[in-house]
Amino acid sequence: MNQSDPSFPSLHIRPAQGWLNDPNGVCRIDGRYHVFFQYNPAAPVHADVVWGHASSTDLLHWTEHPVALERRPGTITQVGCWTGCIVDDDGVPTAVYTAVHDQASNAQVALARSDRELITWTQDDLGVMGMPDPAFTDVRDPFVFTVDGRRYAIQGAGKPGAEPAILLYGCDRLDAWTELGRLVDHSDPIAAEHAPGDIWECPNLALIDGRWVLIISLIQNAGTAAPSDVAYLVGDLVPDGDGLRFVTTSGGALDTGTTFYAPQLVALPDRTLLWGWARETGRSAEDLAAAGWAGVLTYPWELRVVDGVLISSPAAELTGLRRAELDPRSKITDRAFEVTGRFRGRFTLSAAEPVVDLTAETDTELRVLVDGSLLEVFVEGRQPITVRAYPAAGTGWQVEAADAGLRAWRLGLPETG
């Protein structure tokens, strides 16, 4: 943990120094959760990206491991190891990821294999799939799933000034892919409405509460400083020739804050979990260089589908972070804390100025999780709101709410036995 920086999120996944972006390879192997992430250990800038790695048995205590997938000069990973997933391939944990040799438009799908500990990896030097369609300049971020005993993969695709798509492949053998066309594109009017943009990236697909959910990160104006949003689409997978087609029935924004991007989910037998990347907002390059770090992963969220709407909530284990109870009517000076309960009227959480500002006409359930500069806000009947704020040391936080029945806790790691 970066003890000297009050903005550093101490309870979330992120190394003490360097750049972090997309979560990758989220999985649970032999009872242990593994979360990998895009990582530049040398500087807080997006360059020379490799796969960082942390693991946990309880979603609270995270162990940081050595870099998993590395850049190797003269190979397909010369520029970086970009986003992908991990498949338990007949007992062999296998990373399926984007390898970049020189530029994003020349990316390939690559494989790497490990033992059951997922610490030491062997990276293949040959890609299994290059740029499949000349209509696109950007194709990346493979995600593997299984339907009716067959294994498929999807990738996001697009081109500046054109329409995006999700491409589908058959991959019963991970080293032999078959192109199966488009899973979904803007010819689906509901997808076009809820997922605008030039390029779709970081696709995820899972069956949640009996409905197929496709999550897509959107680049609306390719070449701008930051992608714009993350959309979810709920629908059906229907046969389409040798492949499948996603037919959308509803959709929306996964998060309505200013910092959330490039999430990855893992579908487990009992639930579906998701982590997102919280980008830095409002910090200059000089600020980042002085801090020495940039980017953090959110807490794990649980996903449900209710009446065609994707609902996100903090993973149940996170209540285990609650330590001493605080008075929400007094200034809170702790680095990490939680406010929860019901409110009506206006609710604000301020550090010099309001960072969270909500209104509700009826009693509404609220849960706000603060860790350094990262705020994750869950409000009954609304999508999560993930934002960043950088209070100075000693500034503190002030809660103001009318007709409120709120409680607050200091957050910290429980002792291990």
- For the chain, domains (ranges, CATH) are 18-314 (2.115.10.20), 319-411 (2.60.120.560)
State residue 417's pLDDT score.
58
pLDDT digits (tens, 9 = 90+) for 174-194: 999 999 999 999 999 999 999
pLDDT digits (tens, 9 = 90+) for 126-145: 889 877 777 899 999 999 99
Q: What's the pTM? A: 0.96
State residue 391's pLDDT score.
82
d(CA 245, CA 47): 36
Find out whether 408 and 401 touch, Cβ atoms under 8 Å: no
Q: What percent of the chain has pLDDT over 90?
A: 88
d(CA 331, CA 393): 13
State residue 227's pLDDT score.
42
Find out whether 110 and 76 touch, Cβ atoms under 8 Å: yes
Query: 351: how many CB neighbours lie within 10 A of its CB?
Result: 20
pLDDT digits (tens, 9 = 90+) for 376-406: 999 999 999 999 999 887 789 999 998 778 9
Low-confidence ranges of the chain (pLDDT < 70): 1, 221-228, 417
pLDDT digits (tens, 9 = 90+) for 9-34: 999 999 999 999 999 999 999 999 99
d(CA 248, CA 230): 16
User: Phi first, then psi: what are they for 190, rounded to 5°?
Assistant: -70, -40
356: three-class secondary structure by DSSP: strand
State residue 122's pLDDT score.
98
pLDDT digits (tens, 9 = 90+) for 104-114: 878 999 999 99
pLDDT digits (tens, 9 = 90+) for 225-238: 444 589 999 999 99
